[in-house]
Amino acid sequence: MAQAVLWPKKTFFYPIGNTSPISLTQDHPPDIPADILLLGCGDPRNILYTLYSDLRCGASHRRFDVTCCDIEPAILARNILLFTLLVDTKADNIEIWNIFYHFYLDNASIQRLWDQCSTLVRASQSLESWQNSPYSSAIRMCTDHTLQVLHNQWALYLNTKSMSEGERARRKKQFCFEAESIAQREHSISPCWSAGPDVTTEHFKNFWHTGVMMSETHSTSLPHMNPTFLYSLQGDTFNVHYATDPIRAFHPRLVRRTGPPTMESVIRAAKTQFSQWSQAFRDTVAEGAIILRFFNGDALALCDALQELRRSGTTLTSVGTSYWTGTPPSCYNVIDTSNLSDHLGDMNILAGTVPLLRKDQFSALRTQTLLSKSLGRSLPQSFVERFCGDVSTLSLLLGVAPVSYITRYSTRYIPQDSAKSIIPDISPVTEGDLIWKRTDLDFSPSDRRNPRLVVDPQELSRYLFGVYLKITWRMHSGFFYARPSFVAVLKVVKDRVETNWTVTMEQLFDLIALDKKLFTGLNFYQDLCSELHRQGVYSVETLSSAVSIESAKDGIFRHWVDPIPPLVSNFNKVPDDIGTPVLQLELQSRMAHFHNSFSFIQLVFGTLSIEGDLKDPWSGASDLILTLWVPAWILCVSPKTTDVMFSFRSTPSNKYIAKLMRQLGSLLTIFKTKLLDDQHVFFSRRYPSFSDASLTSSSPGLEQVVPISDATSDSQPVLVKASLNPDNVTTLSIRTDVVDTNARQALLKGHGWYFQFDDFCHSVVFPYPIDGAKIKLRIARKSVLPVSNPKVLDSLSFNYVPVPMLEVPWVWSMHYPLLAWLRQHISLIFSERECRLRDLSAAQRDDALLAIKDTFFTLYTDLPQIVIFLRHLRLDLASHTVVIDCFVLPITKRVDWALEVLNRKPMLIIKTHSAEIKAWKQMLPAITERCRTWSHTDNCEYLTRRIPVSLEDFETPLCSCGLGHGVGSYFKDAGLDKKFCNYVTTAAISPLFALSFLESMGRSQIRCAAQDCGKKEGLRLCARCRTVSYCSALCQKSDWKRHKVVCKKE
């Protein structure tokens, strides 16, 4: 596990999701099985909604294998409680709704809860008893530890049956006190946000006043507190997050009505959705199409274990053998990380998950942030800082890229970002979702070789040093990084890049040693070396061999007989009487003049022989056991004068540091002892096995598991050379060896700039989008080495629409009428730059993406029919937007008769230029594939030719597999020839929204930044930060108290 270790004295419980559900399979064709990894899984809304909204080919579901990981056992216990209740019932049941969403329960609901918990407690006595239960076919436990903590959780719920009246009264009083102190919070908004925020605010207040989702008059007599909200990692106390509101876990669904929505209609819509999702879950389980696996523990620890499993067939964490029962996936085509980026850091998330992402064109990794990290900077600036440098270069080195960053648009609407262009004072609460996909694949049917990236060692070391500085700076600024975060990134890069790794690391260490920017950088040098050696990334000379017994005869290893390994495991026992921020362990000897800090520490309560207090360890009396790897040689330098210190890290961003220094001293030492203190300091050749321990970081118990084979291709990879400068990648080049005899002869004759020689044609695929307009081709005819050197772009130059099947959400297929908010919603697809371009003439624009957006604007506001036959306007709830359900008819020579027929019907002619026509043809395969309910045939043109099939005039870009599917009586009802049915394909067209992390949104609305002013005229920029404007010195002075917090010199 790579993130910094915190002292979690206060954590909130999130029993119900605070965002509307998404479809986890939105990027996948309907006939591809879904192997899904949910890190920080939260409540089951995404699983249920996915099963409900998932597209099908035929009558049966696709196969789902879902691994759910959460560090909060109460979340998993509630989820399994809900799943088993749904399995045990055949129809809707109001008691299930009450149990999962209400703070208070009536007699029937609490009895149903106790009965189900009693069943689960009996079934979870052991793995064997669980496997013999009726739930084991669909619900499986990853580890013995997971089953044990869930058993304990259900037992706690069941024990409330015998709770005394006094205890019930105490808990109810505590809830009432917490509820009264809850602040009013804004709610997430959908496209219809301007029509109903008052209703959701009313529901939020009512829910916290009454504890139920119903009117106040129906909730005053409910006698029982719901025990599933009472117990969490924080202990047996009510700790539900203050923004919890069950209505936020549903889509703000619209219904036909003449007046505004009411609280009753919103609740009724939520119950309808829950009923539909529940039935979809029952149907999928009955069909045997889903397996749910549960793991309780740290997300990055699970990623480490799964990576080790893929490499060696063994894992060095407490992931037990039970996880691997029934041939589980060894990698995943869907990885969803919820908003763990807010808590663990984007770089940690990428390093942990990218190696687990299956190498195919459909696999997708989703990251999400709910907290704005701009801190006074623009969103584009903060976006780059999140990834510690240039996103294009990072994507190239990792082999994955955020799709919307490449394409410059998203089909998912982010209401808060776009709404700021209408309401400038609104505060963004999210930087949105990112969908990451593989870029290191060759998807051409004729050549399945994967590109292998070649980088010069010196160039790579300079770039990696820049990443090191940024990660380390964020570490010392109080963020979630540590030196192991950097090592985790290096590990992924090493596996992906072809270079002289030893030279790269030697030059990187030279740069680190000479660095003058990080004041305490060398204090963590041994921490970095230890983790590099432990992860097998690189070993410095001092860790390349074992430590001799002779050199350690007078120190802590004096009783050791065998050779001392380069790294030894250090245990430190700390009395439990302190609490709060980022933690580290230090080794210091003033006599030997060294001071080394270690951030990769792991914590567990208890002793070295028995368990600690499992119910609430942070409030118990057990000692805290710290474990870490340390270089053995440094422990032999001056053992008698070496101190071991457990301390807080001094971070400028932590406002409590000054207070802690007054209490703990300038070094922020929590606990200090001598290295030779055999009562508190212990050493071992191996990490301990923490049996059923309460871990705050990765779980290092040693387990042997069944190896899982991972098929690899024997084909020779395509070598792609990347040229890097310290900040970004400058060029990419591919060398292709032409071995075909006829092709070699053709090359020797000379064939200009085409990569096609007589009957020989070869395509090259770069591992990142390139600027095709600037590509260069060099052909060495004697050595036959054609090389192309295109310049890498920060984002794709849009003279065309990107290749199909990048980021395309699936349509939620329920028709809704055109509403009054649609024009306002569609107007938000334009960025500020595009708004200015729209004011220019068509000849001046020369921007194909803007042209497409203009056409979208016309489609949605005037609903025209040309070769696009409009059928329905539908809501895509998961993406907070609308979709045109239509048929597309590419005009070819075979269907030229259609133009004569259409000319006799009312239609709108949309004028386009050549670049937009090409862009539309590139997009057509994507918008038809995204709503596909039919299967591709063995003769599919996508397989035998390419995608798109053709971009030429009067030729179709689409395959013929989908022609005529789902047409029904549409053309007959429209009075058109039935021949149309054989030439049209169903499509789903969504708006393409601008991205706030790449460009400013909407038309510029610059106003005076003073809160009570807002004037637009006579504005002048703040001379210091140059990010806000004021109309006068008086306004600037009045606003200084607020603005100085974020004002930084440019």
pLDDT digits (tens, 9 = 90+) for 441-479: 554 444 445 567 888 999 999 999 999 988 887 655 545
pLDDT at site 807: 36
Residue type, 504: T
In a domain, 975, yes or no: yes
Range from 490-504, 723-737, 945-959 carrying the lowest mean pLDDT? 723-737
Of residues 82 and 548, more confidently modeled: 82
Same domain, 801 and 945: yes
Of residues 702 and 158, more confidently modeled: 158
- Reported as a single tens digit per residue, the pLDDT across 571-607 is 666 554 443 456 777 788 877 777 887 776 776 655 5
Same domain, 840 and 939: yes
Which sign, positive or negative, has the C-alpha torsion 221, 224, 226, 230?
positive
In a domain, 602, yes or no: yes
pLDDT at site 515: 83
Give which of 155, 153, 119 is closest to 134, Cα–Cα. Answer: 119
3-state SS string over 370-389? CCCCCCCCCHHHHHHHHCCC
What CA–CA distance (Å, rounded) separates 885 from 890?
16
The percent of residues in the chain predicted with pLDDT above 90, rounded, is 20
What CA–CA distance (Å, rounded) separates 488 from 484?
6
Q: Is the pLDDT of residue 892 over 80?
A: yes
Give which of 173, 175, 226, 180 is closest to 16, Cα–Cα. Answer: 226
Range from 74-78, 486-490, 782-786, 971-975 carrying the lowest mean pLDDT? 782-786
pLDDT at site 960: 92
Q: Which of 541, 576, 602 finishes a domain?
A: 541
Give which of 618, 615, 590, 595 is closest to 605, Cα–Cα. Answer: 618
pLDDT at site 968: 87
Q: What is the mean pLDDT of residues 371-383?
A: 61
pLDDT at site 83: 98
Give which of 276, 318, 288, 272 is closest to 147, Cα–Cα. Answer: 318
Same domain, 961 and 835: yes
pLDDT at site 111: 96
What are the residues whose beta carbons fall under 8 Å from the beta carbon of 541, sequence distance 6 or more?
none
Give which of 472, 550, 541, 553 is closest to 506, Cα–Cα. Answer: 541
Q: What is the mean pLDDT of residues 709-722?
A: 51
Of residues 320 and 619, more confidently modeled: 619
Q: Is the pLDDT of residue 493 over 90?
A: yes
Residue type, 883: V
Q: What is the mean pLDDT of residues 798-817?
A: 33
Of residues 136 and 738, more confidently modeled: 136
Same domain, 809 and 765: no
What CA–CA distance (Å, rounded) separates 88 from 497?
51
Q: Is the pLDDT of residue 193 over 50?
A: no
Where does the pLDDT of residue 909 fall: very low under 50, low under 70, confident under 90, or very high at 90 and above? confident
Of residues 1012 and 304, more confidently modeled: 304
Where does the pLDDT of residue 255 fall: very low under 50, low under 70, confident under 90, or very high at 90 and above? very low
pLDDT at site 128: 92
Q: Is the pLDDT of residue 409 over 70?
A: yes
Same domain, 998 and 1034: no
What CA–CA distance (Å, rounded) separates 507 from 468?
13
Same domain, 824 and 912: yes
Q: Is the pLDDT of residue 847 over 80?
A: no
Burial class (CB in 10 A: 0-12, 13-18, 19+), 559: exposed
Where does the pLDDT of residue 421 fall: very low under 50, low under 70, confident under 90, or very high at 90 and above? very low
pLDDT at site 293: 96
What CA–CA distance (Å, rounded) separates 708 from 177?
53
- Reported as a single tens digit per residue, the pLDDT across 986-1030 is 998 888 887 777 766 655 557 788 877 878 778 888 888 777 888
pLDDT at site 707: 29
**To 5 degrees, how large is the angle CA 286–CA 292–CA 296?**
155
Q: What are phi and psi of 735, to 5 degrees?
A: -105, 130
Range from 79-83, 347-351, 726-730 carrying the lowest mean pLDDT? 726-730
Give me the residues paired with residue 882 across strands. 875
pLDDT at site 774: 60
Of residues 424 and 345, more confidently modeled: 345
Q: What is the mean pLDDT of residues 752-764?
A: 49
Of residues 190 and 276, more confidently modeled: 276
Tell me which residue range forms the domain holding 721: 399-450+717-728+794-1005
In a domain, 18, yes or no: no
Residue type, 358: R
Q: Is the pLDDT of residue 703 over 60?
A: no
What are the residues whose beta carbons fall under 8 Å from the beta carbon of 342, sequence distance 6 or more?
369, 370, 371
216 by DSSP, 3-state: which? helix
What are the residues whose beta carbons fall under 8 Å from the beta carbon of 655, sequence distance 6 or more?
none
The percent of residues in the chain predicted with pLDDT above 70, rounded, is 67
pLDDT at site 690: 43
Burial code of 660-696, b = ≥16 C-beta within 10 A, e = fewer? beeeeeeebebbbbebeeeebbbbeeebbebebbbbb
What CA–CA distance (Å, rounded) separates 414 from 421?
12
pLDDT at site 319: 47
Pairing of strands 594-598, 602-605: unpaired
Q: CA distances (Å), 827 to each of 92, 386, 832, 850, 1035, in order?
A: 41, 29, 11, 13, 32
Same domain, 916 and 934: yes
Where does the pLDDT of residue 148 fall: very low under 50, low under 70, confident under 90, or very high at 90 and above? very high
- Reported as a single tens digit per residue, the pLDDT across 643-698 is 888 777 666 555 556 666 666 666 777 777 887 777 777 777 766 554 433 333 33
Q: Which of 541, 565, 582 finishes a domain?
A: 541
In a domain, 983, yes or no: yes
Q: Where are the beta strands (DSSP E) in 922-1001?
A: 985-989
pLDDT at site 550: 64
Range from 226-235, 703-712, 799-808 carrying the lowest mean pLDDT? 703-712
Q: What is the mean pLDDT of residues 343-366?
A: 90
pTM over 0.85: no
Q: Where are the beta strands (DSSP E) in 403-554?
A: 432-438, 451-455, 497-498
What CA–CA distance (Å, rounded) separates 993 from 698?
39
Where does the pLDDT of residue 844 fall: very low under 50, low under 70, confident under 90, or very high at 90 and above? low
Range from 229-238, 433-442, 876-885 carrying the lowest mean pLDDT? 433-442
Where does the pLDDT of residue 862 fall: very low under 50, low under 70, confident under 90, or very high at 90 and above? very low
Q: Is the pLDDT of residue 744 over 70?
A: no
Q: Is the pLDDT of residue 29 over 70?
A: yes
- Reported as a single tens digit per residue, the pLDDT across 424-435 is 444 444 446 888
Q: Is the pLDDT of residue 352 over 50?
A: yes
Write out the two tokens for 512.
């680190």
Give which of 472, 496, 299, 473 is closest to 394, Cα–Cα. Answer: 496
With contact defined as beta carbons under 8 Å apart, do 582 and 483 qualify? no
Q: What is the mean pLDDT of residues 890-910?
A: 78
Torsion of CA 525, 526, 527, 531, to 10 degrees: 110
Of residues 93 and 414, more confidently modeled: 93
pLDDT at site 777: 57
Q: What is the mean pLDDT of residues 145-164?
A: 93
Average pLDDT over the chain, rounded to an integer:
74
Q: What is the mean pLDDT of residues 68-78?
A: 96
603 by DSSP, 3-state: which? strand
pLDDT at site 525: 83
Same domain, 558 and 460: no
| Cβ neighbours around 652 below 10 Å, total | 9
Q: What is the mean pLDDT of residues 390-399?
A: 88
Q: What is the mean pLDDT of residues 69-95?
A: 94
Same domain, 933 and 1050: no
Domain count, the chain: 6
Residue type, 35: D
In a domain, 244, yes or no: yes
Burial class (CB in 10 A: 0-12, 13-18, 19+), 730: middle
Q: Is the pLDDT of residue 964 over 60?
A: yes
Structural element, H or E, at residue 875: strand 868-876
Of residues 179 and 67, more confidently modeled: 67
713 by DSSP, 3-state: which? coil
Q: What one-character DSSP code corresponds to residue 150?
A: H
At which residue do the structure tokens 């920029």 appear? 1021
pLDDT at site 926: 83
In a domain, 378, yes or no: no
In a domain, 15, yes or no: no
With contact defined as beta carbons under 8 Å apart, do 823 and 785 qualify? no
What CA–CA distance (Å, rounded) separates 245 from 101?
9
Q: CA distances (Å), 369 to each of 222, 432, 831, in order?
A: 37, 6, 21
Highest mean pLDDT among 79-83, 455-459, 754-758, 846-850: 79-83
In a domain, 19, yes or no: no
Same domain, 620 and 630: yes
Q: Is the pLDDT of residue 803 over 50?
A: no
Length of the chain: 1050
pLDDT at site 98: 95
Same domain, 942 and 1013: no
Same domain, 737 and 724: no
Q: Which of 523, 541, 559 finishes a domain?
A: 541
| Cβ neighbours around 968 below 10 Å, total | 9
